[in-house]
A and B are shown apart, each in its own frame.
Chain A
Amino acid sequence: MREIAYEDIVKAVKNMVIHTATNLPEDALRKLKEAHEKEKSPVAKKVLEQLLENAEIARTEKRPLCQDTGLAVYFVKMGQDVHVTGGTLTDAINKGTEEGYVEGYLRASTCDCFTRANLKDVIGYNLPAVIHYDIVEGDKIEIEYAAKGGGSENVSRARVLAPAQGPQGVIDFVKEVISEAGPNPCPPIIVGVGIGGTFEKAAVSSKYALFREAGKPNPDPAVAEFEKELLFELNKLGIGAMGMGGTETVLAVHVEKNPCHIASLPVSVNVQCHSSRHNHITL
């Protein structure tokens, strides 16, 4: 069985956290540039210009892209032939998160949900991270990461539809969520849609959909077609960059589909702001 040291995971996670806060990934940057080219509204175009300039300043001067440096969210694929020595994988990811947020001068944004007291001196700086695990074949650990901001989480929604509502019901629901969100989640946005499964499976799928390379279609052609239709429908809303009106509201729609119970049609919509800070490492 292959062994990976706790300290090596901490270090790799820390470096990823620091890098991701100031470097907008290539896919998000490409999508923003495309939107800037296509946008019809001069006001929204100006906003998109600012966002591209912001990304450049962040990268060259190592300043966080956004003051909301997010909660740290991870999807981990753990090979069943790997053993972590010197500590647990969860502790290593949390430790790397904390060190990255402290050393990168990022914001401590976790708080008690009722008292609202910051948890940096209680649990740790911007801890705990949100970690989803999957056990897979092999002897590697793949860690996918997102710094997930609060504004776009606040407008995300889940609902269990009646099976008879079908695909049109899903489109109507997603449209309702994005329309109601308007300027609040910092458009242009990426929309993650989890369909099927159970209530929580749909929600986790909608989150995982946001980890995909922006604009990369679902491998299932029927689902990819559905993504295209949703994208077209959502851009009719006219919300535009920062909600000031425009043609480019949604950069991409990613749909993840799951088998579900004969009685239900769960749908979850998770929204990602334009500052789509994602990264991954394989150890």
Chain B
Amino acid sequence: MSQVHYLTTPLTDEDIMNLKAGDIVYLSGTIFTARDAAHKRLVDLIESKEELPFPLQGAVIYFVGPTPPKPGEPIGSAGPTTSYRMDSYSPTLIKYGLKGMIGKGKRNQAVKDACKEYKAVYFGATGGAGALLGKLIKEAKVIAYEELGPEAVRMLKVENFPVTVINDAYGNDLYEEGRRQYEVKD
């Protein structure tokens, strides 16, 4: 049976080991946004041993490219983007301390293996619920790569941001388990 957790970033190894695929988590605190282009730059920085624009230890990255904010609002609509485009970069970030990723859609085996080896999880947020999720972001600030527009790295402050554990640190995968339960074989 799935459990409900309330967690605040940065996440610890203990936080991670308490999570199982299918659990619902309400996340609060600071999280960072990055899509493909920003991921490539982050991995390049790690490879050339340069400093990253935010501390990776315990961090949660949200795969999102929001709509522009209306005047007086911190951010526009901000639901998750499809995660597989980050698959080639995520294992490196996990190795250097990343604890959580928020997106939607399948991850490859390398990402799942990295979650197991270095204690990290992949969370799913509801794709296409951008209006609802954008409202739960209380502050947003571009901290790097402003020229990438929607793909810039932003620091977000979130309150009770609802996500579901898809891949946990034990090798479980909610997409596979959930589907197996409801698939009708001929």
Contact with A along B90-125 (1 / 0, CB 8 A): 000000000000001110000000000000000010
Residues A64 and B67 in contact in the complex (CB < 8 Å), given A183-B104, A238-B180: yes
> Which residues of B (126-151) have their CB < 8 Å from a CB of A?
126-132, 134-135, 149-150
Give the contacting residue for B82; candidates A61, A109, A184, A238; CB below 8 A: A184
Inter-chain contacts of A118 with B (CB < 8 A)? 149
Is there contact, CB below 8 Å, between A184 and B70? no
> Which residues of A (156-200) have their CB < 8 Å from a CB of B?
182-184, 186
Task: Quote the shortest CB–CB distance from A220 to chain B (angstroms).
Answer: 27
B69, B129, B134: which has the most chain A beta carbons within 10 Å?
B129
Number of inter-chain CB pairs below 8 Å: 166
> Which residues of A (88-128) have their CB < 8 Å from a CB of B?
105-109, 116, 118, 120
Q: Tell whether A57 is near chain B: CB-to-CB under 8 Å.
A: yes
Give the contacting residue for A106; candidates B67, B127, B174, B177; CB below 8 A: B67
In the complex, A239→B178 CA distance in Å?
8
In the complex, A182→B104 CA distance in Å?
11
Task: Quote the shortest CB–CB distance from B159 to chain A (angstroms).
Answer: 16
Is there contact, CB below 8 Å, between A65 and B128? yes
In the complex, the chain B residue whose C-beta lies closest to that of A149 is B128
Is there contact, CB below 8 Å, between A50 and B182? no
In the complex, the chain B residue whose C-beta lies closest to that of A274 is B128
In the complex, A57→B182 CA distance in Å?
30
Contact with B along A241-265 (1 / 0, CB 8 A): 0111111000000000000000000
In the complex, A38→B76 CA distance in Å?
32
Inter-chain contacts of B78 with A (CB < 8 A)? 67
In the complex, A69→B76 CA distance in Å?
11
In the complex, the chain B residue whose C-beta lies closest to that of A48 is B126
Is there contact, CB below 8 Å, between B179 and A182? yes
Is there contact, CB below 8 Å, between B184 and A50? no
Is there contact, CB below 8 Å, between A66 and B77? yes
In the complex, besides A61-B131, A184-B82, A238-B183, 14 extra interface pairs with C-beta distance below 8 angstroms are A53-B129, A58-B131, A61-B135, A64-B76, A105-B69, A107-B150, A154-B82, A182-B179, A186-B104, A242-B126, A243-B179, A244-B124, A244-B178, A245-B174
Q: Please, could you name 27 A-B residue pairs with CB atoms under 8 Å apart, sorted by A?
A: A43-B22, A51-B126, A54-B128, A54-B129, A63-B77, A65-B128, A66-B77, A66-B131, A67-B66, A67-B67, A67-B77, A67-B81, A68-B81, A69-B67, A69-B77, A105-B70, A108-B149, A182-B175, A184-B106, A236-B184, A236-B186, A238-B182, A240-B179, A243-B105, A244-B164, A246-B178, A275-B128
